[in-house]
């Protein structure tokens, strides 16, 4: 078998494919658009001896087929988080250009790639954090904040960027990390701006989270679609939209905490018992639909009561429906995870209890208004199409953002708590 020339050719093609895939993966992870990744892999494979190269580039994986004569081989690699590292990206592009001219072997290309990883410098973490703070302060000034808010924005954004880098090194989910960093940065900026005597606290809080805005991925998404890669572009757009939603979520939570204060808990809240009771009934009803056992039905009813009670407290404190729903869902998810320490441990998976408890928080009334508004727009002679459109859009956005907030809270808790059971 070792003397079979066909086997040798296939093994050589495999080395070519893997070298090209390594370059393509690094190009993707350092912020290259899809056409650059495809061209880079084609240059590497062609320069190493492949006659034809075909690639399929996805958001989380890349597949490559290389051909020489009648021999063809296909290999695939996973792609890590998509970030931005333009110095490394440009060095990789230069390597692709050089290899594409021919004359280099597979082992030499691998050695060059290893040298690039070690050679390309990175800024110190302290400098990166300070640069982010200064940039956000400058953005704040462009947005019109007063001078009193400049230092609070810079300090909050610097701390937020440091927290972001620390959580990234620990492998925290990107969306969870985005919400946490946005919340911390906005809360620090808001409280510091108030202490500094700024008259533009909301604007300062907004400026402090601009370091999280995914500018390069958004531009790559549009470029990918325009250049004939709609699947990858759509995946990028979805990721950008999710990141923006989690930024908004963290910012809204910080604003709600600042405006709500702690004193509201001392007041009597009418309707909490009513909401809690019927939330328990609704959650237990969904538990029946999920085919829960008797004991789990009781736990789901408790989760529903907790979720609706907490959300009512949030609404009476002046929080928006989305923020109140997010906070309630997060507490319910944490409570469900805490059941692992109960004397009578609840059988896994416990996260299903949190889902059942949060289902009653879905705004059914808004969903009904959304559907009715859309139906009125489709009538042959709508009475007031502008008003119907306004109602439909407003109700639809409330449904989407509330469901998104609930799902975000459940996902964040799930991501931050270790699990050993089957996911």
Q: Which pairing describes strands 71-78 and 52-57: parallel, antiparallel, or unpaired?
A: unpaired
Give 227's DSSP letter. T
Task: Please state the φ and ψ torsions of residue 339, each to the nearest 5 degrees.
Answer: -65, -15
Count of beta carbons in the 10 Å neighbourhood of residue 350: 22
**Token pair of 318, please?**
């002046």
Going by C-alpha positions, the residue among 235, 208, 211, 206 that lies closest to residue 221 is 235
Going by C-alpha positions, the residue among 31, 45, 25 that lies closest to residue 87 is 31
Longest dimension (CA), the chain: 86
Q: Which residue has the tokens 């999710």?
A: 242
pLDDT at 316: 86
End-to-end CA distance of the chain: 43
Beta bridge partners of 98: none
pLDDT at 343: 58
Q: How far apart are CA 412 and CA 113, in angstroms?
A: 36
Going by C-alpha positions, the residue among 352, 415, 361 that lies closest to residue 179 is 415
For residue 68, the surrounding DSSP H or E stretch is strand 61-68
**Token pair of 72, please?**
């063809």
**Token pair of 285, please?**
């009803």
pTM of the predicted structure, to 2 decimals:
0.74
Beta bridge partners of 375: none
Going by C-alpha positions, the residue among 100, 95, 122 that lies closest to residue 111 is 95
Query: Is 204 exposed, middle or buried, given 0-12, 13-18 or 19+ CB atoms closer than 10 A?
Result: buried
Q: Which residue has the tokens 């325009």?
A: 226
Q: What is the DSSP string of 248-315?
A: HHHHHHHHHHHHH-SGGGGS--TTHHHHHHHHHHHHHHHHHHTT--HHHHHHHHHHHHHHHHHHHHHH
For residue 78, the surrounding DSSP H or E stretch is strand 71-78
C-beta separation of 67 from 51 below 8 A? yes
pLDDT at 322: 86
Sequence-distant (≥ 6) Cβ neighbours of residue 231 within 8 angstroms: 58
pLDDT at 407: 81
DSSP reduced 3-state for 365 = helix
pLDDT at 44: 92
Q: Any idea what the Cα angle at residue 276 is, between residues 283 and 402, rounded to 5°?
A: 65
Q: How far apart are CA 403 and CA 256, in angstroms?
A: 18
For residue 54, the surrounding DSSP H or E stretch is strand 52-57
pLDDT at 259: 67
What are the per-10-residue average pLDDT scores of the chain (423 residues)?
54 90 92 90 91 91 90 91 84 90 87 88 86 87 86 94 92 90 93 91 88 83 87 91 86 78 37 82 75 77 89 87 89 84 57 80 72 70 75 81 83 71 44
Going by C-alpha positions, the residue among 134, 305, 291 that lies closest to residue 211 is 134
């Amino acid at each position: 078998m070792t003397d079979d020339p066909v086997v040798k050719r296939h093994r050589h093609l495999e080395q070519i494919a893997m070298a090209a895939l390594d370059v393509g993966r690094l190009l993707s992870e350092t912020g290259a658009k899809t056409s650059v990744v495809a061209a880079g892999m084609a240059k590497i494979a062609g320069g190493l001896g492949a006659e034809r190269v075909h690639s399929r580039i996805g958001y989380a994986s890349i597949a490559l087929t290389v051909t020489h004569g009648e021999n063809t081989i296909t290999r695939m690699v996973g792609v890590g988080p998509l970030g931005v590292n333009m110095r490394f990206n440009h060095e990789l592009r230069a390597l692709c250009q050089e290899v594409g001219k021919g004359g280099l072997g597979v082992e030499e290309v691998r050695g060059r790639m290893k040298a690039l990883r070690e050679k390309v410098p990175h800024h110190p973490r302290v400098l990166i954090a300070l640069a982010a703070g200064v940039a956000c302060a400058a953005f704040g000034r462009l947005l019109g904040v007063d001078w009193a808010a400049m230092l609070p924005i810079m300090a909050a954004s610097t701390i937020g960027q440091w927290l972001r880098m620390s959580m990234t090194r620990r492998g925290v989910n990107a969306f969870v990390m985005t919400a946490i960093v946005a919340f911390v940065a906005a809360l620090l900026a808001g409280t510091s701006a108030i202490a500094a005597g700024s008259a533009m606290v909301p604007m300062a809080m907004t400026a402090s989270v601009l370091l999280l805005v995914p500018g390069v991925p958004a531009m790559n998404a549009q470029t990918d679609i325009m250049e004939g890669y709609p699947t990858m572009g759509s995946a990028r757009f979805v990721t950008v939209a999710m990141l923006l939603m989690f930024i908004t979520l963290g910012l809204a939570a910080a604003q709600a905490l600042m405006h709500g204060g702690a004193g509201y808990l001392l007041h009597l809240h009418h309707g909490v018992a009513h909401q809690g009771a019927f939330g328990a009934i609704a959650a237990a009803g969904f538990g029946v639909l999920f085919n829960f056992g008797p004991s789990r039905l009781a736990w789901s009813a408790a989760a529903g009561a907790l979720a609706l009670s907490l959300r009512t407290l949030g609404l009476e404190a002046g929080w928006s429906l989305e923020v109140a729903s997010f906070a309630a869902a997060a507490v319910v998810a944490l409570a469900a995870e805490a059941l692992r320490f109960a004397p009578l441990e609840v059988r896994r998976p416990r996260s299903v209890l949190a889902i059942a408890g949060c289902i009653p928080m879905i705004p059914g009334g808004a969903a009904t208004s959304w559907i009715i508004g859309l139906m009125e727009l489709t009538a042959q002679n709508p009475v007031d199409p502008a008003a119907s459109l306004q109602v439909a859009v407003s109700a639809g956005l409330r449904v989407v953002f509330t469901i998104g907030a609930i799902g975000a809270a459940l996902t964040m808790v799930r991501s931050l708590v270790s699990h050993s059971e089957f996911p």
